[in-house]
Structure 1
Amino acid sequence: MMEYVGFIAASLTTLSFLPQTIKIIKTRDTKSISLGMYMMFVLGVAFWLVYGLYTGDMPIILANFITLILSSVILVFKIKEVFLEK
């Protein structure tokens, strides 16, 4: 039963990145996003993924794998905005 709770929680928190990622891809606007925060966030998610792989915890693995992809897309757009568009 608690594994289902984990999958639901993981799904909701992971999918919450989808609207922001889509918006940034469409608008290419990342001015209001903190580069430092997103760098730390992506690194933290990567560590959570490693932890999930180590422990074999599927909700943690799936959620952090998808979140890593979505948040990395946002981070790439932010890095381009900060370093390439000046």
Structure 2
Amino acid sequence: MKLTDIIGYLAAFGTTISFLPQAVKTIQTKNTEGISLAMYAIFTLGTLLWLIYGIMSASWPVAAANAVTFIFASTILIYKVRYK
């Protein structure tokens, strides 16, 4: 494995792991009061676009990190709309 891939996977792991505790808490409590709908919609779209970019460019660290983040971000966005 190339050094750039290792760095990419470490970066992907770090950013995704840092997002998960808040995502899990939000999913468990369904409390989205402090989340901006516009910001989260844009964030989720951006994550989807990064996922597509990662797949199209065969950048697997980018694709993997954004796949996980997109799943959680989408769930939170749905909660934000549903439990408004």
TM-score by length of 2: 0.91
SS at match of 2:39: helix
Cross-structure match for 2:67: 65
Residue in 2 aligned with 1:77? 79
Structure-2 separation of matches of 1:13 and 1:24? 17
Equivalent residue, structure 2, for 1:41: 43
For residues 11-69 of structure 1, the C-alpha deviation after alignment (integer angstroms, 9 at most, x for no partner) is 11112221112111221111000000000000001111111111001101101111100
Equivalents in 2 of 1:79, 1:32: separation in Å? 13
Runs of 4 or more, structure 1, over 2 Å off, are none
8 Å CA contact 1:7, 1:59 repeated in 2: yes
Query: Given that residues 17 and 71 in structure 1 are in contact (C-alpha distance below 8 angstroms), is that contact kept between their aligned partners in structure 2?
Result: no
Cα distance in 1 for residues equivalent to 2:68 and 2:11 = 13
Number of residue pairs matched by the alignment: 82
Ranges in structure 1 where 5+ consecutive residues have no aligned partner: none
Give structure 2 stretches of 5+ with no counterpart. Answer: none
TM-score normalized by structure 1? 0.89
Cα RMSD (Å) of the superposition? 0.9
Q: Measure the CA separation in 1 of the matches of 2:51 and 2:24.
A: 23
Deviation of residue 73 (structure 1)? Answer: 1.2
Cross-structure match for 1:51? 53
In 1, the alpha carbon distance for the partners of 2:6 and 2:39 equals 30
